[in-house]
Amino acid sequence: MKDNFFSNLKRSDFGEDFIWGTSTAAFQIEGSPFADGKKASIWDEFSHKKGKIYKGQNADIACNFYNRYTEDLQLMKSMNIKHFRFSLSWSRILPDGTGKINQAGLDFYDRLIDQCLALGITPWVTLYHWDLPQKLEEKGGWTNREIINWFSEYVKVCVSRFGDRVKNWMVLNEPLVFLGAGHFLGIHAPGRRGIKNFIPAMHHASLCQAIGGRILRDFDQNLNIGTTFSCSYIEAFRDREKDQKAANRVDCLVNRLFLELSLGYGYPFEELAFLKRVEKFYKAKDDDLLKFEFDFIGIQNYTREIVKNAWWIPYLQAMNVKAEKRNLQTTEMGWEIYPDGLFHLLKKYDAYPGVKNILVTENGAAFPDQVINGQVKDEERKQYLQQYIAATLKAKKQGVNVNGYFVWSFTDNFEWAEGYHPRFGLVYIDYERQQRIIKNSGLWYRDFLKTSETTKYTKHHSISFKS
């Protein structure tokens, strides 16, 4: 019954203008870290340090997208995917972070963008998906307020070169993750730890989020400008005040902080007193600098978190109760599958008066795929996607202004500190042979995307749209 319901999902239920795509990021797919003038990013550096990445893997080759983008885009087109979200590698374009522009780097993205357009695929470009030029890290990276100038320079170079053809832009990918994992826990690049790194990096990234938006808008009023946030639906472990307060603190940090700064709400000092340390880094005009009216927000959701009070955890006094401890089936990442969480989050973000448009810019799941007789029968991923897409539809039907959905990810790729073992792709990659196999979930997405296109041109359908 259930499966039937989800497999009956129709693209046309979402309306003709709904955007369907897939997402990815430069570092996770491109490879070729030093080709044609590119220099190291913090992830090139970090992934070569001992003990940082699962089994000592690195992304030197990854999906070799730098050389194989033409074939990959053709495959994408064959799967009826018309919107492609990818990021630009800052150190391919400005190898030292600032100063001398690397023409060959710009040329690569020119070719990629032109190829997308030639195939009828709309590019959605993320400016920063975590791969800061290493040269800038050596000057303090996100902890140095100078990054406002470095980032502005980079954004200007990108938009002046690609802004004629790229109409959809996202400034940052998931600030909380690169700040939390990379500047507090030290488990992602650049491996910085502690509140002394987190606070200034958080403030400067929040400023760049808005400043980047303004630079894009100044370049062309008609660009569609967004930024993306990681978000998880948060619930209290037990129905008691302490856990509820803990859940509220986590919700505030995970789901609200970066959006609310852009909306002009300021820092939530009441819920998260430790953020007061930011005052040291605050300049007179920062209240205004932090604000920007994004055309859309990209929300990226994979799971929900169950939170309980934990007095011994610094700053948050809260901890997650892992899904495995709750005896639940999880994805390869240990994440609970909870489609209703996406529904609740969509409602939550839609309720902000300043949020104009919401796109789900990432959603997907890693499962241990196996190639058998040339096929990948990834039933679990297919069901995961169907259920999350159905949750999106439920929200849309209730009036939520959600207008797009991008699967993470088109192909399997380098999953940061987890290396290659979590496979998120609709397309399987045999890394040794660099072969691509469309998984069953990818075949399902292809057919799902085809549905309304075929009907679109039938007489009946076009009449019903006009009326």
Q: Which residues of 255-274 are buried (b: 16+ CB within 10 A; e: fewer)?
A: bbbbbbbbbeeebbeebbeb
> Annotated binding residue at 302?
yes
> Least distance (Å) from ligand FCB to the CB of residue 141?
19
Q: Where does this chain bind ligand FCB (CB under 6 A)?
A: 25, 173-174, 177, 230, 300, 362, 408, 415-416, 424
> Annotated binding residue at 408?
yes
Q: Which is nearer to ligand FCB, 336 or 362 (CB)?
A: 362
Q: Position 168: which residue type? A: N
> Least distance (Å) from ligand FCB to the CB of residue 228?
8
Strand partners, 71: none
Q: What are the C-alpha distances in Å from 286 to residues 144, 150, 278, 291, 433?
A: 15, 17, 11, 9, 51
Could you give the CA distance from residue 108 to residue 19 in angstroms, rounded to a whole number?
Answer: 26
Q: Which is nearer to ligand FCB, 91 or 228 (CB)?
A: 228
**Residue entry with tokens 């978190």:** 305
Whether cis (ω within 30° of 0) applies to the bond prior to 190 is: yes
- The conformation of residue 50, written as its DSSP 8-state character, comes to T
Cα atoms in the Cβ-side hemisphere of radius 13 Å centred on 67: 11
Q: Position 246: which residue type? A: A
Q: Say whether 362 is catalytic.
A: yes
Q: Which is nearer to ligand FCB, 133 or 298 (CB)?
A: 298
Q: Which is nearer to ligand FCB, 85 or 192 (CB)?
A: 85
User: Which residue among the candidates 30, 45, 137, 362 is catalytic per the annotation?
Assistant: 362
> Least distance (Å) from ligand FCB to the CB of residue 399?
28
Q: Which is nearer to ligand FCB, 316 or 333 (CB)?
A: 333
CA 455 to the chain's CA centroid: 31
> Annotated binding residue at 387?
no
Q: Which residues of 68-79 are buried (b: 16+ CB within 10 A; e: fewer)?
A: bbeebbebbbeb
> Least distance (Å) from ligand FCB to the CB of residue 248?
23
SS3 32: coil
Q: Which is nearer to ligand FCB, 88 or 106 (CB)?
A: 88
> Annotated binding residue at 370?
no
> Annotated binding residue at 329?
no
> Least distance (Å) from ligand FCB to the CB of residue 292?
21
- The conformation of residue 355, written as its DSSP 8-state character, comes to -
User: Which residue among the candidates 174, 260, 305, 380 is catalytic per the annotation?
Assistant: 174
What the block records as the tokens of 50 is 């001992």
Q: What are the C-alpha distances in Å from 423 to residues 29, 271, 374, 413?
A: 12, 37, 17, 7
SS3 407: strand
> Annotated binding residue at 129?
yes
> Least distance (Å) from ligand FCB to the CB of residue 362?
6
- The CA-CA-CA angle for residues 286, 290, 295, to 5°, reads 160
**Residue entry with tokens 């129905």:** 239
Q: Which is nearer to ligand FCB, 174 or 243 (CB)?
A: 174
DSSP per residue over 78-95, as a string?
A: HTT--EEEEE--HHHHST
> Annotated binding residue at 20?
no
What the block records as the tokens of 152 is 């502005």
What the block records as the tokens of 388 is 């999350």
> Least distance (Å) from ligand FCB to the CB of residue 246?
23
DSSP per residue over 128-157, as a string?
A: ESS--BHHHHTTTGGGSTTHHHHHHHHHHH
Residues labelled catalytic = 174, 362
What residues are designated binding site for substrate?
28, 129, 173, 302, 408, 415-416
What residues are designated binding site?
28, 129, 173, 302, 408, 415-416
